[in-house]
Structure 1
Amino acid sequence: NVSGVIGRLMIDPFTLLLTSTNARDYQAIEDHMAKGMNVSEAINHVIKEREIIP
């Protein structure tokens, strides 16, 4: 019996941005990619800009 069990999904900032469907997140990544960054570089740049601490 698993009734009453509560779980919480905790993911790192990189994965959160990579899988985000939020328009603000998507646009921030797209803006950096338009400047010549690849996806990984763009996500890391957004993390630094937003001062997200992993």
Structure 2
Amino acid sequence: MAVALTVLCLLALVATAWPAAGVVIAWSVGAAAIVVVVLRRVRSAREVARRSR
């Protein structure tokens, strides 16, 4: 949790120094969130497949 807060603070500093970075950061965070959701769904699908065997 502390690491995430530190990263967010660093990203905020970068965004204030270079406004265009805000757009890049937003896209990166969105892409990372999508990847996390997809990975979780794949894992849960695998668990369901294992249990049904």
Q: TM-score, normalised by structure 1?
A: 0.31
Question: Taking CA–CA contacts closer than 8 Å with sequence separation of 6 or more, which of the two structures ends up with the larger relative contact order?
Answer: 1
TM-score w.r.t. length of structure 2: 0.31
